[in-house]
A and B are shown apart, each in its own frame.
Chain A
Amino acid sequence: MKLRLHTQPEVPLEAETISPDQLAGKSEAEASALPLYHGKEQVALGDFFTVTGPMRNGAVEVEGDLSRVKLLGHAMSSGRLHIRGNVGAHLGAEMSGGEIAVDGDAGDWLGREMSGGRITVKGNAGHMVGGAVRGSAVGIQGGEIIVHGNAGNEIGHGMRRGLIAIGGDAGDFAGVNMKAGTVIVLGHLGIRPGAGMKRGSIVSGRNTELLPTFSYDCVYQPTFLRYYLFYLRRLGLAVENDYLSGPYQRWSGDGLEMNRGEILLYAGPH
């Protein structure tokens, strides 16, 4: 099934119904009648999208500049959602399975509080990738988010499980209040990564200044990281050879919490 944006929304369009779970078994007419929210007004999906073809093999394709379209793939549990273009906030929020691929950029809150499945963004992502909504302590609890470009602040905020991989740079407070899981940033980290983390791993391909509540352990070649980086390479993320076997500084923290988290900073040549 293919959905093409024919009318640009004036205010954010909340499109929770655009997911393989919601569109399964629907005809073009039935899909076009599904409700969306344009601001506070309920509208029909067909008011903004042209729907063509039935859904085959759980696959849905959405095309157009979707920068103002939020909550695509919300709570999806299976199937594949392919977005050809940029997409707005909360993509794949609370999803538990299936796969989302974005050819362009994604907005804030990408995969927030998801528990399974995989999101791949070929471009950049906004703030709070895999994060927890304000007032909630737990962010992503499983699954994988792979961003080929850069990401904003507070990626993996409150993360409990899963993998967030950023091919470029990430903003400030990466992995803030992490409980466990793995954040890999091949580029630069912003300030104060891992603040308040209990467990979990934050990896960066560049050196950075850490909070004084992190203590230096050693320089070593972590095998688990090779395993992760090869895994990401197989999924199409460009990983330099140097990162695979290069030395990494290991820092333990956050000393204000359980001190069972770690930050690994690549310490080899570039």
Chain B
Amino acid sequence: MFIQSTEIVDTFAEAFKMWGTRVVITAASRKWAQAAGRSMTGFATSVIGCKCEAGIERELSPEETPDGRPGVSVLLFGFSADGVGKRLLERIGQCVLTCPTTACYNGLEAEQKVVVGGKLRYFGDSYQIGKLLGGRRLWRVPVMEGEFFIEDSFGVQPAVGGGNFLVLGRDLQVTLDAVEAAVEAMQVPGAIMPFPDGVVRSGSKPGSRYKALPASTNDAYCPTLRGVAPRSELPEGVNCVLEIVIDGLDEDAVKEAMRLGVRAAVREGIVQITAGNYGGNLGQYHIGLHDILGS
């Protein structure tokens, strides 16, 4: 299948069951809301190395937030509900509680919840104040600037992690242009791209020649290893590969983000778009590129 001059390979992205949550952070200004959001989602690119994957889903206007201040919504994913709870405790405790003027609210209505504010409240050393409004319990934790206001519990739900596609380009610049356009087009509610500005250059394969490593460089897609790797997947004329990884609160969000991204990435100079999988043996979700493009 071709879109313009770009070949879309008839393959699928292999995605995994994860657990996800949404955190709404507000602050006195957009600057501080963004600061807290960026801090909380730092070092959260891969669940293997960072224990979770996270990203800013979108910016929120004052009209969209519970306290009428500017905000951001953050999505965070982990391998278990319990794991998501632990990561929230760490990251909200270190990155949002610490950030001037912020407040933190649950942004996901779900059957299952993890306690976060109900634990962080102990930072208040017994001076914390509990509030219950509209069925939601919240905590006021005194801090040097005033008070940190946080919801007691956050919703968690089964989610999908590891949706992906690879953009194979003629050179670095055209490939960068393609993935930047793709990420910009992939702003879908319920989905994030956890790598730096949504893009990863160091795609991996499972296993390594070094016993201690669970994963290693994806040699089949490394241009410098075209003549060395046991099996190169690079078509002729490809000199650069970049990948976009997508996590979503549900499969539809991942599919929609992938569809928009692939559509935006195709252009002259992008030879091929394909997807990463493990033969279909590991992941619970198989997202076919041709399926999402409606062929």
Cα distance, A231 to B103, chains bound together (Å): 15
Q: Is the beta-carbon distance between A223 and B134 smaller than 8 angstroms? A: no
* Residues A231 and B146 in contact, CB atoms below 8 Å apart: no
Q: A199 to chain B: which residues have CB within 8 Å?
A: 129
Tell me if A226 and B69 are in contact (CB < 8 A). Answer: yes
- Indicate whether B23 reaches chain A with its CB closer than 8 angstroms: no
Q: Is the CB of B132 within 8 A of A161?
A: yes
State A142–B131 Cα separation when bound (angstroms): 11
Q: Which residues of A contact B76 (CB under 8 A)?
A: none
Q: In the bound complex, what is the Cα–Cα distance between A220 and B68 (angstroms)? A: 17
Contacts of B130 in A (CB 8 A): 180
Inter-chain contacts of A262 with B (CB < 8 A): 129
Q: How far is the CA of A79 from the CA of B138 in the complex (A)?
A: 27
Interchain CA distance A163-B131 in the complex, whole Å? 10
**Neighbouring A residues of B26 by C-beta, 8 Å:** 223
Are A228 and B133 in contact, with the CB atoms below 8 A? yes
Given contacts A161-B132, A163-B133, contact A227 B67 (CB under 8 A): yes
A223 near B147: Cβ-Cβ < 8 Å: yes
Nearest-neighbour CB distance to chain A for B97, whole angstroms, equals 13
Interface residues of B in 113-157 (CB under 8 A from A): 129-134, 138, 140, 146-147, 149
B66 is an interface residue with CB less than 8 A from chain A? yes
**A244 an interface residue at 8 Å Cβ cutoff?**
yes
Q: Give the CA-CA distance A64 to B207 in the complex, in Å.
A: 79
Residues of chain A within 8 A of B129, CB atoms compared: 199, 201, 262
- Tell me, in angstroms, the Cα distance from A223 to B69 when the chains sit together: 10
Q: Interface majority SS on A: helix, strand, loop or mixed?
A: mixed
Across the interface, do A227 and B146 meet the contact criterion of CB distance under 8 Å? no
Q: Choose one: A163, A201, A220; the contact of B146 (CB below 8 Å).
A: A220
**CB atoms of B68 and A223 under 8 A apart:** no
Residues of chain A at interface, number, CB under 8 A: 20
Contact B132 A227 (CB under 8 A): no
| Chain A, 149-184, CB within 8 A of any chain B CB | 161-163, 180, 182
Interface 1/0 per residue, A175-202 and B, CB below 8 Å: 0000010100000000000000001010
How far, in whole Å, are A231 and B129 apart by their CA atoms in the complex? 19
List B contacts of A220 (CB < 8 A): 146-147
Contact of A227 among B28, B101, B149 (CB under 8 A): B149
| Contacts of B139-186 to chain A: CB distance below 8 A | 140, 146-147, 149
Please tell me if the beta carbons of A231 and B133 are within 8 angstroms of each other in the complex. Answer: yes
| B102 to chain A: closest residue by CB | A223
Contact B138 A222 (CB under 8 A): no
Chain B, residue nearest A244 (CB): B68
Q: Shortest Cβ distance from A214 into chain B, in angstroms?
A: 16
Which residues of chain B from 59 to 109 have a CB within 8 Å of any chain A CB?
Answer: 66-69, 101, 103
CB-CB < 8 A to A226: which residues of B? 67-69
A221→B149 contact, CB < 8 A: no
Q: Are A223 and B133 in contact (CB under 8 A)?
A: no
Contacts of A37 in B (CB 8 A): none
- Per-residue CB proximity of A221-262 to B under 8 Å, as 1/0? 111101110110000000000001000000000000000001
| A138 CA to B129 CA, complexed, in Å | 20
In the docked arrangement, what's the CA distance between A142 and B52, Å? Answer: 38
Residues on A with C-beta less than 8 A from B131 are 182, 201, 224, 228
Q: Please, which residues of chain B bring their CB within 8 A of the CB of A224?
A: 131, 138, 140, 147, 149
Query: Known contacts A230-B66, A230-B67, A230-B68; is A223 also within 8 Å of B149 by CB?
Result: yes
A-B contact pairs, 8 of them (CB 8 A): A142-B132, A162-B132, A223-B69, A223-B149, A224-B138, A226-B68, A231-B66, A231-B133
Report which B residues bind A (CB closer than 8 A): 26, 28, 66-69, 101, 103, 129-134, 138, 140, 146-147, 149
With A223-B103, A227-B133, A228-B133 known, 9 other A-B pairs at CB within 8 A are A161-B132, A162-B132, A182-B131, A199-B129, A220-B146, A224-B131, A224-B138, A227-B138, A228-B131
Can you list the 5 inter-chain pairs with the closest CB atoms, starting with the nearest? A226-B67, A223-B149, A227-B67, A220-B146, A223-B103
